[in-house]
Structure 1
Amino acid sequence: MINSISIHFGYDVELRHIRYFLAIAEERHFTRAAQKLGIGQPPLSHQIKDLEREIGTPLFHRIPQGAELTEAGRAFEDRVRQIPGLVAEAVSAAQRAAAGETGRIRVGFTGSAAFNPRVPQAIRIYRRRFPDVELSLAEHNSNGLVEGLKNGTLDAAFLRPDAVDKQGLRLFHLADEPLIAALASARMPHGEPIRLEQLAEDPFILTPRALGPTLFDATLEACRRAGFEAVLGQSAPQVASVLALVAAELGVALVPESMRDASFKGVTYHDLQGNAPKVALALAIRSDEHAATVSAFVAEARFPSEPEAG
């Protein structure tokens, strides 16, 4: 029950006046109403007199057996009976919104990030904990996700952060993933480990740097450390299309280790021998973001409240 909120209704009428009036209207007796409310009978009578004075007409007939509503009192009761419940609902709605339990959140992700188990885990558990939050998802390349955050069309994004524009963003590191080689299965059908320099003569299929700078830069740097410059082959806008071109035997690719779970016909995945290069996975939000829904999502992504499935 709401007891301590002071709400004025244009006149000098507060929520407590409404509660007191309704208690007397229900009990038809000042003393019983006072006992129900947990206050003394004289203060209750005084508050009702204040209410009647503000409205300008008596609301009760005082009779030996208790109290009866006047015509004005019945008209008043008809219109104010729902007010305490409506106020309670409004307070609950505000409290739930402040706790991030209602509202909406728009989350983006890159194609490769979606295969890291931390991403579906965070989305799944968040949906369970906050079923009344409207959650919308969008796939984009890393630069597109950054743009979405900055222009306000996204609230949070799972991305590869190393080579993106971080100005105006706050990033939360989630994982580091080794890169593995994706080859056409016709070439190496068994997925055995390889040395990166074995691919020195192969064209590398990459997402253009303007779309996915992190994997682009990581691939070229890994090849340089292995002693060769990568031969650039076909480009593809998303990791799924990169794998499609690999399956078509148009080249090879380096992809995050979690992509191994993407069963793509015609592609085998191979660990890189030696010190395999790694790429980071992060959750990004605007640096000035204060929405409770976003804070709750960040907390779930960073510190899952349920163990990972499987």
Structure 2
Amino acid sequence: MALDLRQLRYLVAVGEEGHVTRAAERLGIQQPPLSQQIKAMEAQLGFQLFRRKPRGVELTESGRVLFEEARAIMLRLAQAERDARRVARGEQGQLRVGVAPTAPFHPLVPGVLRAFREAWPAVTVTLDECLSRQAVQGLREARLDAAFLRAEPPAEPGLAVDRLLDEPMVAAVPAAHPLAVAVAPRPLRDFAAESFIAFARVEGPGMFDATLAACLKAGFTPRLGQEAPRITSTLSLVAAGLGVALVPASLRRVQMDGVAYCELAPCDRPSVPLCLATRREPGSPILRNFATLVRRAGRAPEEAATSEDSRGSAAPVGE
């Protein structure tokens, strides 16, 4: 019969103290029962663990082999208990976050990711760039824990969605376009004759739907040009002079040769949401910590969310 953890704890205590009485004090038991336990272990194993000395005990050669392994087991068990407690508190583990292609350009998203990493450095955060439909599917299949979306998905029992903010949109136009140098905001109807590049019309319809609704409200049906699967390809098509695109205002941080940004008049300026979606079922403590942090940031004053940081230094265009 194998030794149990209690016996291993007794062995380690006596081996480290080299004295049964001191080991008993350390363990919070009486000396005679501990001596009896050591003798019972030796009888169970069939060999002597300790040599008795006038002023204590010392490990035998075979006893030392078992002592070293027992101490390693106790250390691993203690570490496992600490790790389990950290996971239970949301301090250790993994968080998988889906991110819409345009979301990282808004200061809220990198801000909360940075704050989360600083608060819980032992949590591994993995980011997966994906469009809205891909992100929702990832949440349904538990491949993602949370996702930043640029569209509020239809309500469904398994998902919880928080609308964090609504970000105004601007027109991305070719640098040679007459309105590229416009100082005053322009009415959206000024772009009625342009081709509009459709960004991720099917897989991530948030920006497309916002563009279509705004144009119809302004009194015209947009003439659709090419469809682009990514925001970088959308801006590349704009730079090539193949059309214009309405994009979140934070995209002004992306400085690309051949692209300029034109403010739209407040009366018909569209906006696009930034949402956090999570599975509605009880999530891990890590996810609860993250969602709480994001929701708190989303409740910050709007001027902080659309601060001058969104107009700041140029950011490199990602893939």
Q: TM-score range by the shorter chain?
A: 0.7 to 0.9
Displacement of 1:70 after TM fit?
A: 4.8
Call closer, same or farther: CA 1:171–1:250 in 2, change over 3 Å.
same
User: SS where residue 274 of structure 1 aligns?
Assistant: helix
Aligned counterparts of 1:30 and 1:224: Cα–Cα separation in 2: 87
- Name the amino acid aligned to 1:290: G
* Counterpart selection for 1:262 from 254, 258, 266: 254
- Tell me which amino acid in the other structure corresponds to 1:97: V
The structural deviation recorded for 1:57 is 5.1
Q: CA 1:260–1:57 in 2, change beyond 3 Å: closer, same or farther?
A: same
1:118 shift after superposition: 1.1
Higher mean C-alpha displacement, 56-65 vs 108-117: 56-65
State the secondary structure of the residue aligned to 1:264. Answer: coil
Matched, 1:150 2:140: yes
- Give the CA deviation at 1:73: 3.3
Cα distance in 1, alignment partners of residues 241 and 59 from structure 2: 88
C-alpha separation between the residues in 2 aligned to 1:150 and 1:137? 17
Q: CA deviation at 1:163?
A: 4.9
User: What are the equivalent positions in structure 2 for 1:215-226 lying under 5 Å apart?
Assistant: 215-226=207-218
**How much has 1:91 moved relative to structure 2?**
1.0
Displacement, 1:108? 1.9
Contact 2:188 2:268 in 1 (8 A): no
Q: Could you report, residue by residue, the CA deviation over 1:89-110 in whole angstroms, capped at 9, with x for unpaired residues?
A: 1112222233333333332212
Report the CA distance between 1:294 and its aligned residue. Answer: 2.8
Distance 1:166-1:248 versus aligned 2 partners, 3 A rule: farther
Cα pair distance change 1:71/1:270, threshold 3 Å: closer
1:144–1:22 CA distance, 2 compared to 1 (3 A): closer
Task: State the Cα distance separating 1:230 from its structure 2 match.
Answer: 2.0
Residue identity opposite 2:74 in structure 1: P
The alpha-carbon distance between structure 1 residues 136 and 224, as it changes in their structure 2 partners (threshold 3 A), is same
Task: Show structure 1 runs of 5+ residues with no match.
Answer: 1-9
Tell me: CA distance 1:166–1:239, structure 2 relative to 1, closer, same or farther (3 Å): farther
The equivalent position to 1:302 in structure 2, one of 253, 272, 295, is 295
Q: How far does residue 260 in structure 1 lie from its aligned partner after superposition?
A: 2.0
Stretch of structure 1 that moved more, 34-43 or 134-143: 34-43
- SS of the residue corresponding to residue 261 of structure 2 reads strand
Comparing 83-92 with 264-273, greater Cα deviation is found at 264-273
Q: Is residue 287 of structure 1 aligned with residue 280 of structure 2?
A: yes
Gaps of 5+ in 2: 298-303, 310-319
Q: Is the 8 A contact 2:188 2:264 kept in 1?
A: no
Q: How does 1:71-150 map to 2 (within 5 A)?
A: 73-150=63-140
Say which SS state the counterpart of residue 82 (structure 1) adopts.
helix
CA distance in 1, matches of 2:46, 2:127: 57
**Residue deviations 1:237-294 (CA, integer Å, cap 9, x gap):** 1222222222233222221222222223322231333253322111222233623333
Give aligned pairs, total. Answer: 298
1:205-284 pair list within 5 angstroms: 205-265=197-257, 266-274=259-267, 276-284=269-277
Give aligned-pair identity as a percent. 42
Residue in 2 that maps onto 1:184: 174
**Distance change in 2, residues 1:269/1:114 (3 Å):** farther
Cα distance change, pair 58–193 in 1 and its aligned pair in 2 (3 A): same
Partner of 2:314: none
Q: Which amino acid aligns with 1:82?
A: A
Moved more, 83-92 or 144-153: 144-153
More deviation, 164-173/93-102: 164-173
Partner of 1:16: 6
CA offset digits 1:43-76 (Å, max 9, x no partner): 4334434544544555345554333445653443
Whether the 8 Å contact between 2:170 and 2:261 is mirrored in structure 1 is: no
User: How far apart, in 2, do the equivalents of 1:259 and 1:193 lie?
Assistant: 17
Structure 2-normalised TM-score? 0.80
* Larger proportion of helix: 2
Is this contact kept in 2: 1:185–1:267, CA < 8 A? yes
What is the SS of the residue equivalent to 1:249?
coil
Cα pair 1:243 1:267 within 8 Å, conserved: no
CA contact (8 A) 1:246 1:267 kept: no
Q: Does the 8 Å contact 1:100/1:296 carry over to 2?
A: yes
CA distance in 1, matches of 2:198, 2:255: 19
